Amino acid sequence: MVVRPVPIESRHVKKHFSYEPEHVFDDLYCIPLPLYDGSPVNAYVAIGEDGVWLIDGGLGTEECQTKLFDGLKTLGFYKADVRGLVITHGHNDHVGAAQTVLDNGGEVLAHRIESTDGRRLAFDEAWLERNGLPVNGQVKDRWRPLDWPQPTRLLEDGERLRWGNLDLEVVWCPGHTRGLVCLFEPTRGLLFTTDHVMRRAPAPISLRDDADGDPLSDYLASVDKLARLRVETVLPGHGRPFGSLGHRLAHIQDEIAAQLSLVRERLKSGPATAYELLSIEHSLRDRRPIAERYALSQLLARLRHLELKNEIRRIAGGDPIRYGLC
């Protein structure tokens, strides 16, 4: 019910993207960088008087890093000109440039929590199997633990940061990861939302093990936090800039409410495993093992949220775990 279906005819068609630097605002650029499938992740480049400062650094693959530093050359800068990198969160498609920046004398910044708890990215296979996932020994888990370097500076919520010519406020937004930060530039009305809020993608909230708290509740609180900001332009981690942040946040809240309602409605007909509940919106047509695991982990985050609100419960003594209404 969480991951949108991928049309069968489009799954094996490789799209073509441009990775050329894009002018965003005055002295701010975006360099789209290639992911494993070629789709882009954004690295933002803030230009200052004596160099450039990055917000996110793409994958650590040779292709991605070549595109990043080729893009900087297009803007007239080299590796040694990078004064710092903010890692908005510790997923592998945002931290790739960290070691290069450090090796060239630059700073690497991340939230305190992301530097510790946020490094836990792997799926707990036993937990997913207890929730009905069929056993499959051929999984290639792209969310395996990633050894990115220790930041030179740890950020806290509300901290102010001079980044190039940008005056940024750190906005801690747990949910997608525990230590994710958005970055707000109040003078220009810019908000860097990384993967927390994108133009069309559904809320990327997952539960990868049984000790992972209530990330959906954290996410919804973070959405409320952003709604109070005066934002003109949203700069996401993937996709194009957009406006009307309030409208997008309201849509996300409505979408999550609808997902929770579907779960409650389905459970009126009797208990079910999390894996069985994935068929509610026929959202698992992409049967690649990694997509299946991520879809299940997203649904488990919704179930955990309802469970902690005492709206649903685990049926005692069952394996796989089954859920029912309270």
pLDDT, mean of residues 8-29: 76
How far apart CA 183 and CA 196 sit, in angstroms, is 11
Beta-bridge mates of residue 107 = 84
pTM reported for the whole predicted model? 0.91
How far apart CA 276 and CA 116 sit, in angstroms, is 34
pLDDT tens string 261-299:
999 999 999 999 999 998 875 544 445 556 788 889 999
pLDDT tens string 200-222:
888 889 998 898 899 999 999 99
Lowest mean pLDDT among 61-65, 286-290, 300-304: 286-290
How far apart CA 133 and CA 79 sit, in angstroms, is 44
Query: Which H or E run contains 275?
Result: helix 274-277
Q: 8-325, what's its fold? A: Metallo-beta-lactamase; Chain A (3.60.15)
Q: Is the pLDDT of residue 92 over 80?
A: yes
Domain residue ranges of the chain, discontinuous segments joined by +: 8-325
